[in-house]
């Protein structure tokens, strides 16, 4: 069973590539919106070609574009611009992440968009924000992690800094974008007017460092790298097993003693500098080293059972293959197998909110490039002759037949 | 100038502690909702005592609870339960993160909540989700990072795994919670009924690993740790300066040659194994080592200027003190100084979405414990005699006078 979301009947035009805008619009599509992804001729969204591929299809694209339609058109051509204008007249929301100023240069400034459709919510996503000395610079997720202080904090204290190996700035920006759209749609109900919503990777990044940044602004110390550890209590972090790592956290001496017993190392409680949490925090290198010697004697699954019995809060340091096989993950039902027309069974991760116990509906897998061009233009009132004319003039592209493509028949 | 958000007139009861629920409700408060934080007697939200403190106030609490009211009441007492029931009658949303089942045990099951107010949106946040073998386990942000595969991927390839030193699971869950509330409020307009919304740290964590998890499920390799590097191109990551690190990313040979010239190391282009990106990816350890020798000769700011002139995408690996002093950050206006009644000037990070160029309003700093108990109960119709009676009976607490407290007059 799945549920539909409240955005049914809301039409969103996405002019978006890569991660942030496609993810934000996928969230809105999951919540029920009709998302029409307007893609450029000659390939569409860059992420369609990103490695790794599965059956010729980019996993990244696959993970960020479900429940959408794809329309390929060149809005820099006058007849293409006319089509985009008609789409905007029919829509509730426009979301775009072109270079700053590029859509305005193509004739679609915010002023013009308001003339076309004063009820349209217009969302602009940028890297560094609308203004300031870096507003025109290229911006990637990891670069913004570095810029906003995240890379400097991540990694071992005796090694170089590390990145967060996930698109936390991009995906976070997609989530803020979706929140901005929900808010702007409510505003529209209250005022009858659309709003210009802006989000950026840098603004998202500053939100992620909210608490430590406020601390430094208030005169606190600049956070140092602590590997898998934590400032407040020791031991806390990843410890080696003979075949992997486990994560554990000990908040007081009772729990510490239970841990030592579980590791068959009760003698460690008498080590100098191990006597209480404050001492262990001060001596964390030696505490962690001695504990690691103890944990490394056991295989991961044995260690996890010992920690469980000792009631020490813990987790496996799971690799993603273990995550896929995990019974708790299975119990939640968030990973769903869907049928993809080319790939067959595909495992997808549903949006992590349930409503009366139901996840949001997986209505369709990500669209082939241009698969909905003809249908969407027909619904705008174009005849098949007009569509053929636009096709011949190179203003639009229509859907690739994927089956044919895999047999080499596609241009 | 600031803007109000569309949730004005929406009343949210938050029974939340720590990070995820307070952050989610702060987002909703920023969007204009009236958030009444119901706290327990004898201290309230655990985060009120978390280090680091500034002027006796927890920075964590300060960063997650603005624009809210605080009411202290014991809903396990029959007259406290009656007050909570009246609050729920008056409210649009209830958000809670007690132990699974604890609120139901106190008399407020979802069935009972629907009887009290069928229009109420009920949001439940848990660690591992509502069901499954681990649903009753304690859950912390870093533990869920470990469980969902994030820790195993983070850190250097020649070192142990690391955590993401930010509350990405907690804060992400807060964002999903806010999205769930926006959706459920729209549903209520459509159906007249409240919805039971559920979010959890584990479900949020699985959403973060969306793309790599789909890749592994499709037969792809389990991601290894790459420090600050990236699978697709080399060099890409953090490189040492003489006084810090810089982040750079090179996508092709032209850009690589410009980088080498900027580093006064043009000879490196002739090194065996450096000839193109595929070769550099294969030989990334030696490429990164030789480049690090070159970058380490320059101070950070000199290096950044050289990269800028060479048009190599780059960023400082900023520490948070540098972030606070950064001109691009200043240009965005997202960091605001607000007046706190005890602390004076406090720098806060605004929610990273603007509407027609304006951030959401900072209406009030985080409340003192119980500062709004009397006002909220008076608005429910209680007389001051009744309030005094509840106070004397130990069912409620009213606001601490902070000025007095800092002089030692507070119990």
Q: Per-residue pLDDT for chain A (411 aa), expressed as one digit of tens each?
A: 899 999 999 999 999 999 999 999 999 999 999 999 999 999 999 999 998 999 999 999 999 999 999 999 999 999 999 999 999 999 999 999 999 999 999 999 999 999 999 999 999 999 999 999 999 998 999 999 999 999 999 999 889 999 999 999 999 999 999 999 999 999 999 999 999 999 999 999 999 999 999 999 999 999 999 999 998 899 999 999 999 999 999 989 999 999 999 999 999 999 999 999 999 999 999 999 999 999 999 999 999 999 999 999 999 999 999 999 999 999 999 999 999 999 999 999 999 999 999 999 999 999 999 999 999 999 999 999 999 999 999 999 998 644 443 333 332
Neighboring chain B residues of A359 at a CB cutoff of 8 Å: none
State the pLDDT at residue B405: 39
Q: What does the alpha-carbon distance between residue B203 and residue B387 come to, in Å, rounded to a whole number?
A: 41
Q: Residue B410 pLDDT more than 50? A: no
Give yes or no for B212 touching A (CB within 8 A): yes
Q: Residue B407 pLDDT more than 80? A: no
Backbone conformation region of residue B146, classed left if phi is above 0, alpha if psi is from -120 to 50, else beta? alpha
In B185-298, beta strands by DSSP E: 196-200, 236-241, 244-249
Residue at which a domain ends, from A290, A324, A358:
A324
Do B122 and B25 lie in one domain? The reply is: yes
Residue B249 forms part of a structural domain? yes
Residue A214 forms part of a structural domain? no
Residue at which a domain ends, from A271, A300, A324:
A324
Q: Do A213 and B323 touch (CB under 8 A)?
A: yes
Residue B163 forms part of a structural domain? yes
Q: Which residue of B has its CA nearest to A197?
A: B355
Q: What does the alpha-carbon distance between residue A45 and residue A65 come to, in Å, rounded to a whole number?
A: 10
Residue B411 forms part of a structural domain? no
Do B191 and B260 lie in one domain? The reply is: no
Residue B367 forms part of a structural domain? yes
Residue at which a domain ends, from A324, A357, A374:
A324
- State yes or no: is A301 an active-site residue: no
- CATH number for B35: 3.40.50.10540
**Sign, Cα dihedral of B90, B95, B99, B104:** positive
Do A254 and A384 lie in one domain? The reply is: no
In A318-373, beta strands by DSSP E: 335-340, 344-349, 354-355, 359-360
* B216 CA: distance to closest CA in chain A (Å): 7
Please give the tally of structural domains in chain A.
2
Do B44 and B64 lie in one domain? The reply is: yes
Looking at residue A358, the DSSP 8-state letter turns out to be B
Do A344 and A315 lie in one domain? The reply is: no
For residue A99, the tally of other CB atoms under 10 A from its CB is 11
Q: What does the alpha-carbon distance between residue A32 and residue A178 come to, in Å, rounded to a whole number?
A: 12
Do B35 and B149 lie in one domain? The reply is: yes
State the pLDDT at residue B399: 86
Do A86 and A173 lie in one domain? The reply is: yes
Give yes or no for A357 touching B (CB within 8 A): yes
Q: Do B327 and A132 touch (CB under 8 A)?
A: yes
Do A6 and A119 lie in one domain? The reply is: yes
- Judge contact between B192 and B119, C-beta under 8 A: yes
Looking at residue B228, the DSSP 8-state letter turns out to be T
* pLDDT tens sequence across B38-58: 999 999 999 999 989 999 999
Interface of A with B in 309-348 (CB under 8 A): 313-324, 326-332, 334-335, 343, 346-348
Residue B142 forms part of a structural domain? yes
Distance between alpha carbon B156 and the CA centroid of its chain, in Å? 25
Q: Compare CB distances from A160 to B222, B238, B318 and report the shortest one's residue.
A: B238
Q: Strand pairing partners for B335? A: B349
Do B265 and B371 lie in one domain? The reply is: no
Do B315 and B353 lie in one domain? The reply is: no
Residue B214 forms part of a structural domain? no
Q: What does the alpha-carbon distance between residue A78 and residue A180 come to, in Å, rounded to a whole number?
A: 31
What residues make up the domain containing B138?
Answer: 2-209+334-406
Q: What does the alpha-carbon distance between residue A281 and residue A288 come to, in Å, rounded to a whole number?
A: 10
Backbone conformation region of residue B321, classed left if phi is above 0, alpha if psi is from -120 to 50, else beta? alpha
Q: Which residue of B has its CA nearest to A225?
A: B165
Do B202 and B277 lie in one domain? The reply is: no
Pairing label, strands A196-200, A53-54: unpaired
Cβ-Cβ pairs closer than 8 A, A with B, add up to: 472
Residue B88 forms part of a structural domain? yes
In B153-282, beta strands by DSSP E: 196-200, 236-241, 244-249
Do B30 and B132 lie in one domain? The reply is: yes
- CATH number for B262: 3.30.1540.10
Q: What does the alpha-carbon distance between residue A147 and residue B140 come to, in Å, rounded to a whole number?
A: 27
């Amino acid at each position: 069973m799945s549920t539909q979301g409240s955005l049914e009947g809301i039409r969103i035009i996405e002019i978006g590539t890569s991660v942030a805008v496609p993810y934000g619009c996928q969230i809105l599509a999951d919540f029920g919106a009709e998302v029409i992804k307007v893609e450029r001729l000659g390939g569409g969204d860059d992420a369609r070609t990103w490695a790794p591929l599965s059956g010729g299809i980019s996993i990244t694209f696959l993970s960020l574009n479900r429940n959408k339609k794809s329309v390929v058109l060149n809005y820099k051509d006058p007849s293409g611009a006319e089509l985009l204008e008609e789409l905007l007249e029919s829509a509730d929301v426009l979301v775009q992440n072109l270079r700053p100023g590029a859509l305005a240069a193509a004739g679609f400034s915010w002023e013009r968009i308001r003339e076309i459709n004063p009820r349209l919510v217009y969302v602009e996503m940028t890297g560094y924000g609308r203004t300031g000395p870096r507003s025109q610079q290229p911006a990637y997720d990891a670069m913004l992690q570095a810029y906003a202080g995240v890379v400097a904090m991540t990694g071992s204290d005796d090694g170089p800094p590390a990145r967060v190996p996930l698109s936390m700035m991009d995906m976070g920006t997609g989530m803020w974008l979706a929140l901005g759209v929900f808010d702007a749609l409510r505003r529209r109900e209250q005022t009858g007017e659309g709003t210009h919503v802006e989000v950026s990777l840098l603004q998202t990044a500053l939100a992620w460092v909210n608490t430590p940044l406020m601390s430094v602004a208030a005169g606190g110390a600049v956070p140092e790298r602590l590997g898998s550890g934590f400032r407040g209590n020791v031991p806390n972090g990843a410890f080696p097993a003979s075949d992997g790592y486990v994560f554990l956290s000990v908040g007081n001496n009772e729990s510490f003693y239970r841990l030592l017993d579980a590791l068959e190392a009760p003698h460690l409680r008498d080590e100098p500098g191990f006597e209480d949490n404050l001492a262990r925090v001060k001596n964390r290198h030696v505490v962690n080293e001695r504990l690691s010697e103890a944990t490394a004697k056991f295989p991961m699954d044995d260690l996890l059972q010992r920690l469980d019995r000792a009631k020490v809060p813990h987790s496996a340091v799971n690799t993603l293959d273990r995550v896929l096989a995990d019974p708790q993950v299975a119990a939640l039902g968030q990973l769903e197998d869907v049928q993809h027309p080319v790939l067959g069974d595909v495992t997808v991760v549903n949006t992590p909110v349930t409503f009366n116990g139901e996840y949001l509906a997986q209505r369709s897998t990500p669209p082939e490039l241009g698969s909905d061009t003809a249908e969407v233009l027909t619904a705008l009132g174009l005849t098949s002759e007009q569509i053929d004319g636009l096709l011949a003039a190179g203003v639009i592209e229509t859907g690739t037949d994927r089956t044919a493509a895999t047999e080499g028949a596609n241009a």
